[in-house]
């Protein structure tokens, strides 16, 4: 249904607030958005007729006398989206509905060394086209692509220090697919999806920390990605934590990611593998190239001293970085997305390390810390969240 421009903007705001704070009543929407009750009623009636939202029932959470509020929530299966994450370890594809319900997924793992020779935008387009065809019955409305770095809309490529992506271009992909395509940094995608699809429905400010090959953080402030146009914002992995530390690939010494990122931890473990005769790593994998974060966690549990030093140091510096962030950003929640901290013992250790360094932070209410279990499909599902956000 066509709406005048002003009402179209108001409709998007209403949908956004229902996603982030729903179930929510009409009167609460009016108060939070500063839109008149009459306009709220008119637009929500239209959205109900379109089956985009529906009435959930009366608000039973209050015992106030009088007529109870009627709660509104987003209707599932209103629309469908294809989400993709590009990684130097895998490609992940998924189909989700408009509330983030995963319907179909496909993950292609590959050896990065071999793929550097053959992986091209043409190959990616072939895989994407095939997955879209498999989702044809759902009539996806858009495609979201979560990229490992920053999307350069002028040159249609990925801005990153990873040479794996230096020749990859989105120009041919855009020209070959008729559906709308939205691209954004993978961590920003996951943060947007967390706000729209996540369990917390208070629409609070939060930090989303992601640790994989490198490290990145996204700050959601008042419902929006903070400083979204500045590609330097969020590069927490390149904040200096030890001025006398090792030289990072960015050229600086002592960057956080030289201690806490997966690639650096695994590289240090490879040195252990080569130079320490009695390391448990040799019992876990037949060669150093097979080392992974999962291998390090197993060696840590077995009491491997060298691996314990690597992991303990990573947690120490990561806890310092998190506390530094919380003294600069108004955040109610910190989400930590990392395979390393999918291990409950290491997550508890990080929590304790943060608590041990919170002297000034006692002046404010504590920030909730939530560990998001790492799954290879998370970035692609985040890209579906990007589609929802961009098409409100």
3-class secondary structure, 322: helix
37 alpha-carbon distance from chain centroid? 35
Binned at pLDDT 50, 70 and 90, residue 292 comes out as: very high
CB atoms < 10 A from the CB of 17, how many?
A: 19
Q: Which pLDDT tens digit goes with each residue over 352-361?
A: 999 887 765 5
pLDDT score for 20: 97
pLDDT tens for each residue of 80-96? 999 999 988 899 999 99
The predicted model gives 106-118 an average pLDDT of 66
| Residue range 40-51: mean pLDDT, rounded | 97
CA–CA gap between residue 127 and residue 81 (Å, rounded): 16
What's the pLDDT band for 29 if we cut at 50, 70, 90? very high
Q: Domains, the chain, ranges and CATH? A: 5-74 (1.10.10.10), 80-196+378-390 (3.30.420.40), 235-331+340-372 (3.30.420.40)
pLDDT in tens, 267-277: 999 999 999 99
Residue 166 buriedness (CB in 10 A; 0-12 / 13-18 / 19+): exposed
| Among 310, 305, 245, 242, CA closest to 279 | 305
Average pLDDT over residues 53-67: 80
pLDDT of residue 66: 65
Q: What pLDDT score was predicted for residue 360?
A: 58
Alpha carbon distances (Å) from 105 to 81, 83, 378 = 12, 9, 11
Rounded-to-integer distance, Cα 59 and Cα 69, Å: 5
pTM over cut 0.85: yes
Distance between CA atoms of residues 263 and 267, nearest Å: 6
Strands 53-58 and 70-74: antiparallel
Q: Which residues neighbour 68 within 8 Å (Cβ) at sequence distance 6 or greater?
A: 58, 59, 60, 62
Confidence of residue 113 (pLDDT cuts 50, 70, 90): very low
Residue 200: band (very low, low, confident or very high) from pLDDT cuts 50, 70, 90 = confident
* Rounded Cα gap, residues 339 and 53, in angstroms: 36
- Which residues face 184 on adjacent strands? 146
- Range 140-159 burial, b when 16+ CB lie within 10 A, else e: bbbbbbbbbbbbbeeebbbe
Q: What is the pLDDT of residue 384?
A: 99
């Amino acid at each position: 249904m066509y709406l005048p421009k002003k009402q179209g903007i108001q409709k998007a705001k209403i949908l956004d607030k229902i996603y982030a704070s729903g179930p929510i009543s009409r009167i609460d929407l009016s108060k939070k958005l500063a839109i008149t009750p009459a306009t709220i009623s008119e637009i929500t009636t239209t959205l109900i007729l379109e089956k985009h939202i529906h009435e959930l029932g009366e608000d039973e959470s209050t015992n106030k006398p009088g007529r109870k509020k009627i709660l509104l929530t987003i209707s599932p299966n209103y629309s469908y989206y294809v989400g993709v994450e590009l990684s130097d370890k895998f490609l992940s594809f998924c189909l989700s509905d408009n509330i983030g319900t995963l319907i179909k997924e496909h993950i292609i793992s590959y050896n990065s060394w071999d793929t550097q020779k053959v992986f091209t935008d043409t190959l990616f387009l072939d895989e994407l086209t095939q997955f879209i065809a498999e989702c044809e019955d759902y009539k996806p409305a858009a495609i979201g692509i979560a990229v490992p770095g920053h999307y350069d809309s002028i040159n249609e490529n990925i801005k990153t220090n990873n040479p794996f992506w230096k020749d990859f271009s989105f120009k041919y992909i855009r020209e070959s697919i008729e559906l709308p395509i939205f691209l954004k940094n993978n961590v920003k995608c996951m943060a947007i999806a967390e706000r729209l699809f996540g369990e917390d429905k208070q629409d609070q400010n939060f930090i989303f920390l992601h640790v994989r090959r490198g490290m990145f953080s996204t700050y959601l402030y008042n419902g929006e990605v903070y400083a979204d146009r500045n590609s330097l914002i969020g590069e927490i992995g390149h904040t200096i934590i030890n001025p006398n530390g090792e030289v990072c690939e960015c050229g600086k010494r002592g960057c956080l990611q030289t201690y806490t990122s997966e690639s650096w931890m695994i590289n240090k473990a490879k040195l252990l593998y080569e130079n320490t005769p009695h390391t448990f790593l040799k019992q876990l994998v037949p060669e150093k190239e097979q080392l992974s974060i999962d291998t390090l966690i197993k060696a840590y549990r077995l009491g491997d001293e060298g691996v314990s030093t690597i992991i303990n140091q990573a947690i120490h510096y990561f806890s310092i970085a998190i506390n530094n962030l919380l003294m600069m950003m108004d955040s109610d929640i910190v989400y930590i997305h990392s395979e390393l901290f999918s291990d409950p013992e290491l997550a508890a250790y990080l929590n304790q390390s943060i608590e041990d360094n919170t002297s000034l932070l006692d002046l404010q209410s504590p920030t909730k810390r939530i560990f998001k279990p790492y799954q290879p499909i998370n970035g692609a599902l985040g890209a579906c969240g990007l589609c929802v956000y961009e098409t409100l």
